């Protein structure tokens, strides 16, 4: 995935969206180097002189072992491996455990414009936080128009043409005790190729546009419990103007799906007409989806019971069953 994420972004994002506890001490002229992948490399083999398959495009993390190796070999021939390593276009070198490399390492980093960063975290914690951060940065993303709400724990993405009532439906659901994640513009990202997460853009987070009223702040009006930052998308409901000539699903035996970023999500097409209480329909859909996730499908059970009923002796011997 193409991204414009750079080493400088690690420093700017620290403490806001991640906890790396880092600061740059050398090679600051290289802070604009791009980080092109989510991989993290421990350069033990490179320090030992083996550069075949050296993942120099990745962030290099130095734990206690690597740090001690450098400190103990600044005046030996093995330090030539350090010199060779820093000649590669490395995005940055991060030293965990608040270990500061010797001046000779920092001088080489300055010469080659390789950022040297110190983290107060342990190696394990640093690696875990970096994996999470880079996983988010390099996850496939897309932006769509709609509303995203949490109803009975189910993340429902509400779609439909402009003016059909997506925001009003979301507002009614909030009034009924459910939570708003995003309205109007929704950012979707695919996590680990199996989970679709949705959130609002930072500028319009917790805000909604209600025609006739204007912009409202849901968090201020209904309290902190009425909103959340992001939610897994588990059901997509598209609102559609009632069309008597269109066939709508009346049984629900066959599950329908819609794909986002290559991931299929359960999908429902809900017709809208005067007098129909769409928020209650959505609450019912959320409850039904929770049952389906537990392996309980009411439509399939009904169909099974109906077939079993037609196989009973009573119905087989009835007038209607035998009538030609």
Q: In angstroms, rounded to a whole number, what is the distance separating the alpha carbons of residues 143 and 185?
A: 7
Question: Does the annotation count 145 as an active-site position?
Answer: yes
Catalytic residue among 77, 250, 254, 323: 250
Active-site residue flag, 38: no
- The C-alpha angle 283, 287, 292, rounded to 5 degrees, equals 140
Catalytic option among 184, 219, 255, 287: 184
Q: Single out the catalytic residue among 38, 166, 207, 292.
A: 166
Distance between CA 256 and CA 249 in Å, rounded? Answer: 10
Residue 123 structure tokens: 């190696």
At residue 22, the 3 state secondary structure works out as strand
CA–CA distances in Å: residue 67 to residues 10, 82, 172: 21, 11, 58
Per-residue tokens: 199:
């959130």
What is d(CA 42, CA 49) in angstroms, rounded to the nearest whole number? 14
d(CA 163, CA 149): 18
Which token pair is 219? 């968090």
Give which of 90, 93, 89, 96 is closest to 106, Cα–Cα. 93
Identified catalytic residue from 64, 83, 111, 145: 145
Instruction: For the chain, list the strands marked E by DSSP.
Output: 22-26, 40-41, 59-62, 93-95, 116-119, 141-151, 154-159, 179-191, 195-200, 207-210, 214-217, 230-232, 235-241, 257-260, 263-272
Burial (CB count <10 Å: 0-12, 13-18, 19+), residue 199:
middle
**Helical pair 166-175 and 278-293, crossing angle rounded to 10 deg:** 70
| Contact present, 49 and 79 (Cβ < 8 Å) | no
What is residue 304's three-state secondary structure? helix
254 is catalytic: no
* Whether 250 is catalytic: yes
> Which residues belong to the active site?
145, 166, 184, 250
């Amino acid at each position: 995935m193409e991204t414009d994420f750079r080493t400088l972004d690690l420093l700017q994002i620290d403490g806001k969206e991640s906890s790396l506890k880092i600061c740059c001490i050398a090679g600051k002229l290289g802070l604009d180097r791009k980080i092109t992948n989510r991989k993290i490399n421990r350069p033990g083999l490179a320090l030992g002189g083996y550069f075949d398959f050296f993942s120099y495009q990745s962030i290099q993390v130095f734990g206690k072992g690597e740090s001690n190796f450098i400190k103990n070999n600044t005046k030996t021939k093995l330090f030539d491996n350090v010199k060779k390593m820093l000649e590669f276009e490395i995005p940055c070198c991060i030293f965990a455990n608040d270990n500061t490399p010797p001046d000779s390492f920092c001088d080489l980093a300055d010469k080659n414009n390789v950022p040297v960063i110190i983290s107060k975290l342990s190696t394990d914690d640093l690696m875990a936080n970096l994996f999470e951060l880079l996983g988010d940065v390099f996850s496939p993303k897309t932006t769509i128009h709609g509303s995203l709400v949490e109803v009975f724990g189910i993340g429902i993405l509400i779609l439909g043409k402009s003016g059909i009532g997506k925001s009003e439906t979301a507002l009614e659901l909030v009034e009924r005790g459910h939570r708003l994640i995003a309205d109007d513009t929704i950012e979707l990202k695919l996590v680990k190729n199996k989970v679709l997460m949705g959130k609002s853009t930072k500028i319009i987070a917790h805000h909604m546009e209600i025609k006739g009223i204007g912009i409202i702040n849901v968090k201020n009006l209904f309290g902190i419990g009425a909103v959340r930052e992001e939610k897994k998308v588990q059901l997509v409901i598209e609102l559609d103007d009632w069309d008597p000539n269109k066939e709508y699903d009346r049984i629900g035996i066959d599950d329908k799906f819609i794909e986002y970023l290559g991931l299929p999500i359960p999908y429902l097409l809900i017709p809208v007409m005067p007098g129909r209480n769409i928020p209650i329909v959505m609450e019912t859909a959320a409850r039904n989806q929770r049952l389906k996730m537990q392996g309980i499908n009411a439509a399939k059970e009904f169909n099974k019971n109906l077939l079993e009923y037609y196989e009973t002796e009573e119905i087989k011997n009835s007038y209607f069953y035998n009538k030609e």
